[in-house]
Amino acid sequence: MDFINFFLDRRADIAAQTAEHVFLVAVSVGIAVAIGVPLGILLTRRPSLSAPVIGFANVIQTVPSLALFGFLIPIPLVGGIGNTTAVIALVLYALLPLLRNTYAGITSVDPSLVEAGRGIGMTDGERLRMIEIPLSLPTILAGVRISTVNAIGLTTIAAAVGAGGLGNMIFRGLSMVDSRLILAGAVPAAALALVADGLLGWLERRLSWER
């Protein structure tokens, strides 16, 4: 119960950091979707590019997140401390699930449907809009869901480089060896991840009813 009181005491801080956290994740995943989904679609049109591009995204994923934040700091314009650097790193990390899922989703659409579309006189754009994208939407959404849940966890680390978000609570708790502080950051972050997973999962299922 000590934790509950502590939590209530600090609720203004926790609420503010949660809002920052949501903002950082939303902006990062939003940008990653804006880049990753069209790029994934492009890759299905130019399969020779798919290996190097997806390979690159794969390599980024293997870089430990704290290290990536650190690498970006000295770079002019995009670097420095704070939210900008955090968003850039988060976007890079979010790319792989989005690229992979978009590519896989579209290439797994029944080719005879795409061919039928071609045969009845649909342009490439019409086929994309009316056949390939609607049918691969659940897979693409799964990619968004995975990216989002990952991003929520990664954003906590961004506090090391001066970004906002619940990581600040956690880092303070670490320096004070105070588990209440750590929990005050970790519990809302975990809750955010659960909510995001649930919401986006529900959306995925709703859209695949239509299959």
Positions touching another protein (CB under 8 A) are 16, 73, 80-82, 112-113, 115-123, 126, 130-131, 134-135, 159-162, 168, 171-178, 181, 210-211
Residue (64 or 121) nearer to another protein, CB: 121
DSSP 142-202: HHHHHHHHHHHHHHHHGGGGT--STHHHHHHHHHHT-HHHHHHHHHHHHHHHHHHHHHHHH
In order of 24, 78, 120, 122, the CA distances from 126 in angstroms are: 34, 37, 11, 6
Closest separation in Å from C-beta 135 to another protein: 6
- Residue matched to tokens 């492009």: 42
Closest separation in Å from C-beta 157 to another protein: 11
Closest separation in Å from C-beta 3 to another protein: 17
CA–CA dist 193, 205 (Å, integer): 18
Task: Give helix 179-208 / helix 11-45 axis angle, nearest 10°.
Answer: 40
Q: CB count, 10 Å around CB of 84?
A: 14
Closest separation in Å from C-beta 83 to another protein: 10
**Which of 152, 58, 133 lies closest to 96, judged by CA?**
58
Residue (162 or 201) nearer to another protein, CB: 162
Say how many CA atoms lie within 13 Å of 18 toward its Cβ.
Answer: 17
Closest separation in Å from C-beta 93 to another protein: 20
- AA identity, residue 16: A
Residue (106 or 181) nearer to another protein, CB: 181
Residue (118 or 201) nearer to another protein, CB: 118
Q: Which two tokens stand for residue 65?
A: 């997140």
Closest separation in Å from C-beta 184 to another protein: 11
Cα 211 from chain centroid? Answer: 26
Residue (9 or 126) nearer to another protein, CB: 126
